[in-house]
Structure 1
């Protein structure tokens, strides 16, 4: 169920913003380098940007300061990844599409798993 509401300016009753409860913010964490430390081709990122923009009307990409991910491979070593985050705002979750995309990204970026998550958000 999607609930909507509008906030108005108290002087002229013009809408200030419209909110939509039930929007989903989907995030994808993509590594910049493979396990050997070689940078992935820019085309991998540009192709995904084009696909998401075409399908959803836009994408937000956090790429200026890559995020760092750390995890334990075993008891004695910690692995670090530098990643960019792609975000898309959607009305509903098409699990079939996102599952296929995740599998394709795991293959493209040669990863055992690509972290993808979503949150329900209220857009102002």
Structure 2
């Protein structure tokens, strides 16, 4: 997580990435290392939860589907929505996904 020099409100951005391609083939570790490095270089820090993947579930066409997911988190002062839209679309293309979930929430650094 990127640190801040002053106390106050910041934004936590989380990116939820599937660990496997749509056909079930695991993505190589290098794919996640590249994303982690890109976020670290862009934001000065990143937290990656990828060793013990979380489970994502959703309903589609009346059936429950699921993925093992990795979560990447960065902390920023403000959100550049244009950059995040571009990065989400880039990840969707790289990973062959219809949608990558990217969320933002307010946090307070204590």
TM > 0.5? yes
Structure 2 counterpart of 1:4 = none
Matched residues, number:
105
Q: 1:82 aligns with which of 52, 68, 74?
A: 68
Unaligned 5+ runs, structure 1? 1-17
CA distance in 2, matches of 1:44, 1:105: 10
1:44 and 2:3 are equivalent in the alignment = no
Shift in Å at residue 19 of structure 1?
Answer: 2.4
Q: 1:58 aligns with which of 20, 29, 45?
A: 45
- Unmatched runs of 5 consecutive residues or more in structure 2: 1-5
1: CA distance between counterparts of 2:45 and 2:86?
Answer: 19
Q: Secondary structure of the equivalent of 2:7? A: strand
Based on CA coordinates, which of the two structures has the bigger radius of gyration? 1
1:65 deviates by 1.7
Which of structure 1's runs of 4+ aligned residues deviate more than 3 A? none
- After TM superposition, the score normalised by the length of structure 2 is 0.90
How high is the TM-score relative to the length of structure 1?
A: 0.80
**Residue deviations 1:62-107, cap 9 Å, x none?**
11221111112222x2111000000000011011110110000001
